[in-house]
Chain A
Amino acid sequence: GENVEQHPSTLSVQEGDSAVIKCTYSDSASNYFPWYKQELGKGPQLIIDIRSNVGEKKDQRIAVTLNKTAKHFSLHITETQPEDSAVYFCAAGWFSGGYNKLIFGAGTRLAVHP
């Protein structure tokens, strides 16, 4: 079945450093790769996403890269701030006339220390 692996499970960085989270997916039909930030007791919030026809996308301090051949995609956060501390989830899904089910990675707990 579909599977998404995410690493690392925990990540601790100093404020101002960069953070990188990596994911791999198993279903080659996947064509939509969102990243979510989840704070305690809340639902996931979309922070950035990428479709399979694009290799990289950037939004201010956040960027996502996709390697379709290797089935890898990564989240890059630069100039980290304490408010970036949260759990981050990658996910893989596919769009075909509508959005089909989304499979999540296990999550990465990011801690940014002042």
Chain B
Amino acid sequence: GAVVSQHPSRVICKSGTSVKIECRSLDFQATTMFWYRQFPKQSLMLMATSNEGSKATYEQGVEKDKFLINHASLTLSTLTVTSAHPEDSSFYICSASGATTYGYTFGSGTRLTVV
């Protein structure tokens, strides 16, 4: 079945630094990728949708300059949290869909802690 690999699974960074999270589709071409943010004991909140080769579409209230999304290839999308602050600490999850896959395939998530 379709597999999405997300790395790193956990990252701790200092306040003010940037962190990059990778999301790779291992066995299919991901024409669309989605990035979610999940706070403890809460739901998944969609941050942005990206189509390969196009600029990401951000949901209302999500700062595009803070959360940089790149979807340069059909198998890789990255989320960069720039100038991270403690309030950016959260669980970030990607998902992908493609022409040959059914539904959405989710990554295993990245726990970001900003200290």
Contact A99-B44, Cβ < 8 Å, known A32-B103, A43-B107: no
> Any chain A CB within 8 A of the CB of B69?
no
Whole-angstrom CA separation of A106 from B32 in the bound complex: 24
Beta-carbon contacts under 8 Å, A10-27 to B: none
Q: A46-B103, A98-B97, A99-B32 are in contact. Are A105 and B43 (CB under 8 A)?
A: yes
Are the CB atoms of A98 and B99 closer together than 8 Å?
A: yes
Secondary structure dominating the interface of B: strand
Binding site for B on A (CB under 8 A): 1, 32, 34, 36, 41-46, 49, 89, 93, 98-107, 109
Q: How far is the CA of A64 from the CA of B41 in the complex (A)?
A: 24
Residue total for B at the interface (Cβ-Cβ under 8 A): 25
Contacts of B49 in A (CB 8 A): 100-101
Q: Closest CB of chain B to A10's CB: distance in Å?
A: 10
- How far is B107's CA from A107's CA once the two chains are assembled, in angstroms? 18
- Asked whether, in the complex, the Cβ of B104 is within 8 Å of the Cβ of A102, the reply is yes
Distance from A92 Cβ to chain B, minimum over Cβ atoms (Å):
12
The answer on a CB contact under 8 Å between B44 and A44 is yes
Give chain A residues whose Cβ lies under 8 Å from the Cβ of B109: 41-43
B111 within 8 Å of A by Cβ?
yes
Give the residues in chain A near B75, CB-CB below 8 Å: none
Could you say which of B6, B34, B45 has the most chain A C-beta atoms within 10 Å of its C-beta? Answer: B34
Give the complex CA separation of A82 and B36 in angstroms. Answer: 28
| CB neighbours of B108 from chain A (8 A) | 42-43
Given A32-B103, A44-B106, A45-B106: A101 and B93 interface contact (C-beta under 8 Å): no
Taking a contact as CB atoms closer than 8 A, the residue among A44, A89, A99, A102 that contacts B46 in the complex is A102
A104 touches B97 (CB 8 A): no
Which residues 41-89 in B have Cβ within 8 Å of A in the complex? 41-46, 49, 60
Q: Does B31 contact A (CB under 8 A)?
A: yes
Contact of B95 with A by CB under 8 A:
yes
